């Protein structure tokens, strides 16, 4: 239902007044920030006060700036007699009238009061008479979409139960820019229930392509940070995505919702100081992801705890040769292993014991040398043999000297070396002997050969969970450093309490309208800020600290993670407050999963909740029909999500016919056909949508060739890649996972299927990336699921 122009003008007045309020809030935060930054000098306490104030006001300012676009997008009018008859406006941030007892002018979308905006239906209106979507462009209201939630009025929601259908469809029809947008204005009820679910425990969100899993995951992060800010600000929220292209694609959503304290990372980025730029072969990736690798690594660590075959001679300074025999070393090793401490920590037990043995040896040799040098004077009748000549202090001195002796150090290091995770893994993967030994009984046959690599090879994402596991197995002997840090932390906490007290007194004389310091800081948090002293957020500090544990962890495309990836993530989240979103029908990685229970059982048994999303907001029904045939091929029991809209155009299929020699002929056939097909698609996008994004999805074997063809096409047309619109990208399905484009041209589907370790899953993913148009270019007879649809027309032979 569309509103009258007078309505539009009235809403414009209201929205303008909201922007005035927003500007006033920004000015205030800006002034406070400037004051905090300007003040200098004073006692150390003043510096801490300044830091707290600077952090508070700059966070607030960043939040107020981020909500400029689409500040207010909704209005609810209630039925007569309903609690508080006046309408409420819903938007990206809460705004209040400071001159009218803090009357809410705009309700934050995450606040409980905003919930009916997403949930109310004609059948269950929750007191709402009318839901209005306000469409804005900058600060201008350009349109209103009304829904009257009254069964009697005959405005029923359709079979999918969509709320705000007009606004939703207009959002879905929008041209894609290559960056994901937020969906605050049109969140649907099934999505809202997930976004606002309790943060405790593991929540799995299973849904087919385009059901909004990524959107829901990100809005959930924003919701949790708003609702549980005190708990989550200090520990931070981690959002894990499958690759850096995907993280770039979703990177703007949380900032646009005013949330910057979230760490977005791939699992491969979760080992601070290491960049995993290498690539594993599919076999190596699969093996590295197996849970058995935890045993392989434990074996590899034990293999570094040695004893001599018979005896080890230690030529110490001064010319003496001390001896460590096998039995002594075995006893020391058993003692150290019995502590069950990590290797580098247990090393202390091993080395202390051997140092005792060496010191005893050295002392008794010294004593016998002294005795040998003394003239043989018989004891008098009343004298007794006085026992050892050297006392405990002498013994300690000898021991200390031995501890610093290079030969002793070398001997101890050779038997039980102090190791870093990187050293151990690279020693392991570059040595046949070490690999064979560590994998014996865990990997089959000669699978270990897939792990062998040249010295100096780059780290791969698959190495990261292994390094993390090793870091745990190796540990760090940081006893002294920890005690020092703990002392320092206690002092900082006591000091922070004092600072907060002073800040609160200051606040009494400031305006009430600003967020109070205790609302956003407590002594613990402030102490952490002090400790960081660089003003880093929890997310930034977490990125630098391998042992950081997060308040909540969200994993997108969770089906792709290997068993070893899960071990790493579970370590980062001991509270198990997690949201995992994914689709087991889209698993591409051989190390990924096809059943959530398998993944979670080792950590939470069956104590996890499952929510399903069933409506596809991305892919139009014509394309989904084709994809559903492929899904049925994967597993006839599975059902594809239902599309909310039609595109009005069917996917096209084209067959380019190679000649005899497969590789060359396929390339030649593509060279002849693909550029013109893509050019045609681009022209259609320009004509029908004024631009947008187009992806050519192809198997890895053709990626180089296809990219070269398209570069040639650009050159011939005098196009500049940087500023082109529509934008074209060439991607493998693996890298397109989670992304979407206005149009997709899918090349060589039979090869995509053949190259995948998961049958047709990759094809299903590729088919479901388009929001408007899909074309398929075959270089061989189509896979059976596709040949049932519109017959491919032949070309080129």
Binding site as annotated, residues: 207-214
Which of 93, 168, 451, 747 is the binder for ligand ATP (CB under 6 A)?
Answer: 168
Q: How far is the CB of 27 from ligand ATP (least distance, A)?
A: 33
- 766 counts as binding ligand ATP under rule CB under 6 A: no
* Pair 555, 578: CB distance under 8 Å: yes
Q: Smaller CB distance to ligand ATP: residue 25 or 560?
A: 560
* 3-class state of residue 437 by DSSP: helix
In whole angstroms, how far apart are CA 671 and each of 618, 697, 711, 774? Answer: 31, 15, 12, 20
Which of 148, 183, 500, 627 is the binder for ligand ATP (CB under 6 A)?
Answer: 183
- Three state DSSP letters for 722-767: CCCCCEEEEECHHHHCCCCEEEEEEECHHHHHHHCCCCCHHHHHHH
Q: Which of 778, 697, 779 is nearest to 730 (CA)?
A: 697
Query: Distance between CA 245 and CA 230 in Å, rounded?
Result: 32
Q: How far is the CB of 615 from ligand ATP (least distance, A)?
A: 8
- 618 counts as binding ligand ATP under rule CB under 6 A: yes
H helices present in 39-108, as ranges: 44-66
Query: Distance between CA 502 and CA 421 in Å, rounded?
Result: 46
Q: How far is the CB of 696 from ligand ATP (least distance, A)?
A: 18
* Pair 744, 692: CB distance under 8 Å: no
Q: Which residue is nearest to ligand ATP (CB)?
A: 212
Query: Distance between CA 268 and CA 279 in Å, rounded?
Result: 11
E strand intervals along 241-389: 262-265, 311-315, 321-325
Q: Smaller CB distance to ligand ATP: residue 110 or 235?
A: 110
How far is CA 227 from its chain centroid?
21
Taking contact as CB under 6 A, which single stretch among the options 210-218, 432-440, 630-638, 678-686 is the one that binds ligand ATP?
A: 210-218
- 738 counts as binding ligand ATP under rule CB under 6 A: yes
Sketch the per residue contact string, 574 through 613, with ligand ATP: x for CB under 6 A, - otherwise: ---------x--x---------------------------
- 165 counts as binding ligand ATP under rule CB under 6 A: no
Taking contact as CB under 6 A, which single stretch among the options 126-134, 181-189, 278-286, 653-661 is the one that binds ligand ATP?
A: 181-189
Query: Distance between CA 460 and CA 289 in Å, rounded?
Result: 12
- 537 counts as binding ligand ATP under rule CB under 6 A: no
Q: Smaller CB distance to ligand ATP: residue 473 or 640?
A: 640
Which of 121, 206, 214, 426 is the binder for ligand ATP (CB under 6 A)?
Answer: 214
- 193 counts as binding ligand ATP under rule CB under 6 A: no
Which of 209, 236, 242, 465 is the binder for ligand ATP (CB under 6 A)?
Answer: 209
Q: How far is the CB of 203 from ligand ATP (least distance, A)?
A: 15
* Pair 135, 170: CB distance under 8 Å: yes
- 773 counts as binding ligand ATP under rule CB under 6 A: no
Which of 22, 88, 187, 677 is the binder for ligand ATP (CB under 6 A)?
Answer: 187
Query: Distance between CA 749 and CA 223 in Å, rounded?
Result: 40
- Three state DSSP letters for 160-221: CCCCCHHHHHHHHHCCCCCCCCCCHHHCCHHHHHHHCCCCCCEEEEEECCCCCHHHHHHHHH
Taking contact as CB under 6 A, which single stretch among the options 147-155, 168-176, 412-420, 688-696 is the one that binds ligand ATP?
A: 168-176
Binding site as annotated, residues for ATP: 207-214
- 617 counts as binding ligand ATP under rule CB under 6 A: yes
Query: Distance between CA 251 and CA 345 in Å, rounded?
Result: 40
Q: Smaller CB distance to ligand ATP: residue 768 or 779?
A: 768
Taking contact as CB under 6 A, which single stretch among the options 166-174, 312-320, 334-342, 630-638 is the one that binds ligand ATP?
A: 166-174
Q: How far is the CB of 569 from ligand ATP (least distance, A)?
A: 19
- Would you give the DSSP letter of residue 446? T
Q: Smaller CB distance to ligand ATP: residue 528 or 565?
A: 565
H helices present in 67-164, as ranges: 115-119
Hey, which residues does 100 pair with through a beta bridge?
none
Q: What are phi and psi of 280, to 5 degrees?
A: -90, 155
- 212 counts as binding ligand ATP under rule CB under 6 A: yes
- 747 counts as binding ligand ATP under rule CB under 6 A: no
- 169 counts as binding ligand ATP under rule CB under 6 A: no
* Pair 261, 399: CB distance under 8 Å: no
Which of 61, 90, 215, 695 is the binder for ligand ATP (CB under 6 A)?
Answer: 215
Query: Distance between CA 263 and CA 274 in Å, rounded?
Result: 17
Q: How far is the CB of 269 from ligand ATP (least distance, A)?
A: 20
* 3-class state of residue 531 by DSSP: helix
- 740 counts as binding ligand ATP under rule CB under 6 A: yes
Q: Smaller CB distance to ligand ATP: residue 188 or 779?
A: 188
- 211 counts as binding ligand ATP under rule CB under 6 A: yes
Taking contact as CB under 6 A, which single stretch among the options 54-62, 66-74, 178-186, 703-711 is the one that binds ligand ATP?
A: 178-186
Given the rule CB under 6 A, which residues bind ligand ATP?
Answer: 168, 171-172, 181, 183, 186-188, 191, 207, 209-215, 583, 586, 617-618, 738, 740, 768
């Amino acid at each position: 239902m569309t509103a009258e122009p007078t309505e539009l003008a009235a809403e414009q007045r209201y929205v303008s007044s909201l922007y005035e309020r927003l500007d006033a809030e920004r000015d205030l935060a800006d002034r406070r920030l400037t004051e905090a930054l300007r003040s200098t000098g004073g006692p150390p306490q003043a510096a801490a006060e300044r830091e707290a104030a600077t952090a508070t006001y700059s966070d607030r300012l960043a939040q107020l700036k981020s909500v400029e676009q689409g500040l207010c997008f909704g209005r609810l009018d209630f039925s007569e007699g309903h609690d508080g008859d006046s309408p409420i406006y819903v938007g990206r941030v809460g705004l209040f009238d400071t001159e009218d007892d803090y009357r809410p002018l705009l309700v934050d979308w995450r606040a409980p009061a905003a919930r009916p905006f997403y949930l109310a239906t004609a059948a269950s209106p929750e007191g709402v008479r009318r839901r209005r979507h306000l469409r804005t462009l900058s600060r201008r209201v350009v349109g209103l979409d009304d829904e009257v939630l009254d069964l009697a009025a005959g405005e029923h929601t359709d079979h999918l139960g969509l709320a705000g259908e007009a606004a939703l469809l207009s959002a879905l029809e929008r041209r894609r820019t290559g960056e994901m947008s937020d969906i605050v204005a049109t969140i649907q009820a099934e999505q809202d229930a997930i976004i606002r679910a309790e943060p405790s425990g593991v929540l799995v969100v299973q849904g087919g392509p385009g059901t909004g899993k990524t959107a829901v995951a990100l809005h959930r992060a924003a919701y949790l940070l708003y609702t549980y800010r005190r708990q989550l600000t200090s520990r931070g929220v981690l959002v894990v995505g499958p690759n850096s292209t995907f993280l770039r694609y979703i990177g703007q959503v949380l900032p646009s919702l005013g949330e910057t304290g979230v760490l977005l990372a791939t699992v491969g980025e979760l080992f601070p100081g290491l960049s995993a730029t290498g690539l594993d072969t599919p076999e190596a990736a699969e093996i590295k992801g197996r849970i058995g690798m935890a045993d392989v690594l434990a074996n590899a660590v034990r293999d570094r705890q040695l004893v001599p075959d018979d005896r080890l001679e230690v030529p110490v300074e001064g010319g003496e040769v001390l001896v460590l025999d096998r039995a002594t070393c075995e006893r020391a090793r058993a003692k150290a292993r019995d502590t069950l401490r990590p290797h580098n920590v247990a090393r202390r037990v091993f080395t202390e014991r051997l140092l005792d043995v060496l010191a005893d040896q050295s002392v008794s040799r010294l004593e016998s040398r002294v005795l040998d040098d003394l003239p043989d004077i018989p004891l008098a009748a009343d004298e007794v043999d006085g026992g050892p000549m050297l006392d405990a202090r002498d013994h300690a001195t000898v021991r200390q000297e031995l501890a610093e002796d290079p030969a002793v150090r070398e001997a101890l290091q050779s038997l039980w070396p102090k190791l870093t995770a990187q050293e151990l893994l690279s020693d392991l993967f570059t040595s046949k002997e070490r690999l064979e030994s560590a994998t014996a009984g865990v990997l089959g046959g000669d699978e270990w050969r897939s792990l062998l690599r040249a010295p100096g090879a780059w780290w791969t994402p698959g190495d990261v969970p292994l390094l993390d596991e090793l870091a745990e197995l190796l540990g760090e002997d940081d006893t002294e450093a920890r005690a020092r840090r703990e002392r320092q932390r206690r002092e900082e906490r006591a000091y922070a309490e004092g600072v907060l007290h002073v800040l609160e007194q200051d606040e009494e004389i400031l305006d009430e309208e600003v967020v109070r310091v205790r609302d956003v800081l407590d002594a613990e948090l402030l102490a952490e800020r002090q400790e960081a002293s660089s003003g880093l957020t929890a997310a930034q500090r977490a990125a630098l600290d391998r042992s950081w544990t997060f308040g909540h962890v969200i994993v997108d495309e969770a089906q792709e993670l290997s068993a070893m990836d899960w071990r790493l993530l579970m370590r980062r989240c001991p509270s198990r407050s997690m949201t995992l979103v994914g689709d087991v029908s889209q698993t591409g990685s051989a190390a990924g999963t096809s059943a959530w229970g398998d993944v979670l059982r080792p950590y939470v048994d069956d104590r996890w909740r499952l929510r399903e999303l069933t409506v596809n907001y991305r892919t139009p029904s014509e394309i989904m029909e084709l994809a559903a045939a492929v899904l049925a091929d994967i597993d006839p029991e599975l059902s594809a999500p239902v599309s909310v809209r039609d595109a009005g155009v069917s996917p096209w299929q084209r067959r380019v016919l190679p000649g005899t020699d497969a590789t060359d002929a396929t390339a030649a056939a593509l060279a002849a056909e693909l550029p013109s097909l893509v050019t045609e698609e681009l022209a259609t996008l320009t004509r029908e949508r004024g631009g947008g994004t187009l992806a050519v999805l192809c198997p890895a074997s053709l990626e180089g060739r296809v990219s070269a063809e398209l570069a040639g096409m650009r050159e011939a047309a005098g196009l500049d890649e940087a500023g082109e619109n529509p934008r074209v990208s060439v991607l493998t399905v693996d890298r397109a996972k989670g992304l979407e484009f206005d149009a997709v041209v899918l090349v060589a589907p039979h090869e995509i299927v053949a190259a995948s370790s998961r049958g047709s899953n990759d094809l299903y993913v590729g088919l479901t990336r388009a929001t408007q148009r899909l074309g398929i270019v075959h270089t061989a007879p189509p896979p059976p699921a596709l040949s049932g649809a519109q017959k491919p027309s032949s070309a080129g032979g």
